[in-house]
Structure 1
Amino acid sequence: MIQTIDFHVPELEMMKVYPKTLYYLGKIELLKRPKISIVGTRHPINYTKIYTQELARKLSLAGVCIVSGGAQGVDALAHQAAGVSNTIMVAGTGLDVRYPAIHQKLIAEIEKEGLVLSQFEAGQPSLKWNFPLRNELIVALGDALIVTQADLKSGTMHSIEFALKMQKPIYVLPHHLGESEGTNWLLSQGLATPIYDIEAFVVQFGSADLIDETDDFLVYCDTHPFYHDAVAKFAEKVFEYECLGKIKVENGRIKRT
C-alpha cells in the first residue's frame, strides 16, 4: 500500500523546495542509512557495467545504501548490484506505475525488500518535467554523487548541476577520450574526482570490515556475458559455478542465480 512519509528528512533541505508530500513503498528505515547516489547513461559500455556494479556492490557490503532512479543502464545496474534490500529507487511517476516497464520485476522487488520513493501522487504518468524533480531528489539523498558514464548532452548532466548547486562531492570513473565526454569534461574542469581504487574509495563512506573479497568471475557474470566468451576467460570457474548453482545460462548468456 502506498504511504506518505510522516517525518522530516534532513537531506532534502538541500533541494530548492522541500517536497510537500513524499510517497513510498517499502522500508523507510533505509532513509536513516548512509547513502550514495549512482547515476549515468542508459547505454553503458562494458567497462562501465563492470565497475558500476563493483562500486554498488562493495558500497552495499560496506553498509552504504545505494540511491538511483530505476532507469535502464547505469541506474538498474546499481540497484541490482547493491541488492534490492539495500537500495532506494526514486520514481518519476506515481507509485502505482512501475516505470520503465522493462524493469517492472526489479521495481516490484525493491518495493518489497528496499524502498521506492516518489513526489508524485498515484496516477501520475511519466511526464518529461517529472524527471528533473526526480533527479534533484536522487542527488539530495546521497552523501555524494557517483557518475559512471555520461554524454555531454544528457539527463545525467542535469543531476550533476544539482550536485554542484548542493556542493555535493562528485566522483566519476576514469574513461578514455571519446567514451564518456560528460565525465571527462567534469574532470577537465576540476569539478569531479576520479575513482582509481574502488576499495580505497568505499572505505571513505562505509566500513572496510564488512567488505568481502572480490569474486572477479561473479562481477564479470553481472555483465551477462555470452557463454562461449565466459568459457574462454574463466573455463574452470564456469563449470564449477554451474555445478554449485551460482550461475545459470539463459539464451546463450550467463547470469547469476
Structure 2
Amino acid sequence: MTPVSDDAKAILLLCSRLGLPSEPRAAKPRAKGETSGDEEIVPLTPTEWNALAERLRQHNLRPAHLLQMQEDALIHLLEGDESNAHRYRVLLERGVGLAFELERLADVGIFPLTRADALYPKRYKERLGKLAPPVLFYAGNIELVEQSGVAVVGSRHADAVAQEAAQRIGEACGYSGWIVYSGGAKGVDSLSMQAALDAHGYAVGVLGDSLMRALRTWGQWIRSGHLCLLTPYHPEAGFSVPNAMGRNKLIYTLADWAVVVASDKEKGGTWAGAIEALRYRWVPVLVLTYNGMPPGNPALIEKGGVALPYERLLQIEPGAFKQWLVEAVNAAKTTRLPTASTSDSRQPSLLATAPITKAPASDDSARVELAEAPSPSEPPTERVWAEVQNLRHHVDLLREEIRHLQFQIASLREEVEALGKAKKRTKGKADSGKDRDEPPPPLLRNLP
C-alpha cells in the first residue's frame, strides 16, 4: 500500500466517510438552540472544504497542519466558530479507524486520491474549479484519466439501435487508442466500455455507486491495466439519484468529446449532464439521430448538440472516426458556435470548436494543497496509434492465414489416413488371393 501523505490524510479525515457509516443517518429535528450529545458528525462538503482551505491559505498553512491543531487553535482559525471547530476536531481524531479502512480497501485494490495528490485529475481542477471533489476512490490504472478520449453516455434502457451504436462507438475508440469515459451503469455505459476493452482499448468508468461491487464485474479488466474505475463517493455507497446525477459532470470533464446515445427530454441524468456540458462548453456534445430516437435527442441538438446520424456511424471505419468527429463539429461551428481563443496542446482542433470553461471563481484551495506536479505519461502520438492500428490489422490477417493453414493441414492428414487405410485393404486383398500352388521363385528351385 502506497503511504498516504499528511496533507492527503487530513483531507480524507475531513471530507470522506471512511471510518463512518457509509450513509448518513437522517437528522432528528430539534428545537432552536437545542444540542444533542449523539448528534452525528458528517464530513465536509466540497464547499465547506474550499472555505477551510481558503483560511489555511490566508494563514500560510497546509492541510497537514490541521492534524496537530487542538480545538482552541481550530476555533482561532475559524474565527470563533466553536461548533465547526468541534466537528473538525472529532473528524480529525479518527486516524486509527482511517488507517484500518485504507488497509482494508487496499487489500481489494481500491485506493484514495485527494486534491493534494499528484495523480489527481488536472482536468477536474481546470474545468470544475472549486466544484472538483476533494476525495476520489479508484481501482485500476489511474493514469488513464489523463488521456484523450470520448465520453459515451445514455439511457440504462436503450433500444436496439442505441445499443448497437454504443458498441460501435466503443469499438472505434478502442481501435483508435482513445479512452471511453462512461458511467459504468448497465445499458449504454457498459456496452460502450466493454466494446472498447474487447477491441484491446481502454476505458474509465466514473461510478455513482459501489466501487466495491463493480470490482466483481470488471475485475479482469482492472487487472489487465486497460480499465480504471473512479468514484467521488464511499467505495461501498448504495445507488441514489443524487449521486448518479452528481457524477455526470465528472464524466464529461475528463473527456475531449462527448456522444449522447439516448436521452429522455427534460428529465434524467443523461439529459441533465448533457445540458450542463453544453452550458459550460466543457466538450463538443454529439447526439445520435435515428428513426424512433428518444425525444431528448432532437431537443439536445436544438440546444447546441451536433447531430451524429446513425447511418453515417455505420459507414465510418474505426480509424476514421476521429477525423469524422472533427469535420462534424467544425461544420456545426461555422453555423452555430462562436470562434474560440482557448487552445489545448493535445486537441487543438477540438478546443477551437468548444472552449474549456472553468468555474467562475478561481480555485484558491489548489494553492493550499499541492504545487503543480509533473503530469502522468503523455498520450501516444497519432503516428504511433496509426502504427498500432496497422499492426493489429496485420495480426488479424496472419491469424486468418494460420487458420487457413490449419484447415489445410487437417485436410491433408485426413487424406493421408484415407490413403493408408486404402493401402492396407489393397495389400490384404493381394495376400488373400495369392495362389498357394504357384512354383517357387527361380532362385529357390535349385536348393536341396
TM-score (norm 2): 0.43
- Quote the offset at 1:94 in angstroms: 4.2
Structure 2 counterpart of 1:25: 139
Mapping of 1:142-181 within 5 angstroms?
142-152=255-265, 153-167=267-281, 168-176=283-291, 178-181=292-295
| Paired residue type of 1:3 | F
1:40 & 1:127 partners in 2: Cα distance? 17
Cα 1:179/1:34, change in 2 over 3 Å: same
Structure 2 counterpart of 1:12: 124
**RMSD of Structure 2 on Structure 1 (CA):** 3.0
2:170–2:195 CA contact under 8 A, matched in 1:
yes
2:172–2:321 CA contact under 8 A, matched in 1:
no
Aligned residues, how many? 213
Structure 1 counterpart of 2:213: 97
Structure 1 counterpart of 2:372: none
2:219 to 108, 113, 133: 108
Structure 2 counterpart of 1:87: 203
1:45 to 159, 171, 175: 159
Mapping of 1:1-257 within 5 angstroms?
1-5=109-113, 6-7=117-118, 8-13=120-125, 14-15=127-128, 17-83=131-197, 86-98=202-214, 104-105=216-217, 107-113=218-224, 114-152=227-265, 153-167=267-281, 168-176=283-291, 178-195=292-309, 196-197=312-313, 198-199=316-317, 200-203=320-323, 204=326, 207=382, 209=386, 210-211=388-389
2:173–2:179 CA contact under 8 A, matched in 1:
yes
Q: For residue 161 of structure 1, give the secondary structure of its aligned residue in structure 2.
A: helix
**Stretch deviating more after TM superposition (201-210 or 80-89):** 201-210
Structure 2 counterpart of 1:234: none
Q: For residue 171 of structure 1, give the secondary structure of its aligned residue in structure 2.
A: strand
2:149–2:173 CA contact under 8 A, matched in 1:
no
| Paired residue type of 2:111 | Q
1:184 & 1:55 partners in 2: Cα distance? 19
Q: Deviations over 1:166-195 (max 9, x none)?
A: 30200122222x422111112234433325
- Quote the offset at 1:90 in angstroms: 0.9
Structure with the largest fraction of strand:
1
| Paired residue type of 2:146 | K
1:21 & 1:133 partners in 2: Cα distance? 14
Q: For residue 180 of structure 2, give the secondary structure of its aligned residue in structure 1.
A: strand
Q: Deviations over 1:21-77 (max 9, x none)?
A: 111100112122212110111122222222211111111211101011111110010
Structure 2 counterpart of 1:231: none
2:111–2:138 CA contact under 8 A, matched in 1:
yes
Identity, % of aligned pairs?
27
After TM superposition, what 4+ stretches of structure 1 lie above 4 angstroms from structure 2?
204-208
Instruction: Compare relative contact order (CA 8 Å, sep 6+) and give the higher one, 1 or 2.
Output: 1
| Paired residue type of 1:175 | Y
1:139–1:162 CA contact under 8 A, matched in 2:
no
2:235 & 2:304 partners in 1: Cα distance? 41
- Quote the offset at 1:110 in angstroms: 3.8
2:264 & 2:131 partners in 1: Cα distance? 28
Structure with the largest fraction of helix:
2
**Stretch deviating more after TM superposition (179-188 or 58-67):** 179-188
2:153–2:188 CA contact under 8 A, matched in 1:
yes
Q: For residue 289 of structure 2, give the secondary structure of its aligned residue in structure 1.
A: coil
2:300 & 2:196 partners in 1: Cα distance? 26
2:303 & 2:205 partners in 1: Cα distance? 30
1:12 & 1:193 partners in 2: Cα distance? 27
Cα 1:9/1:48, change in 2 over 3 Å: same
2:112–2:137 CA contact under 8 A, matched in 1:
yes
2:222 & 2:142 partners in 1: Cα distance? 11
2:303 & 2:234 partners in 1: Cα distance? 39
1:66–1:88 CA contact under 8 A, matched in 2:
yes
Unmatched tracts of structure 1, length 5 or more: 216-239, 245-257
1:140–1:166 CA contact under 8 A, matched in 2:
no
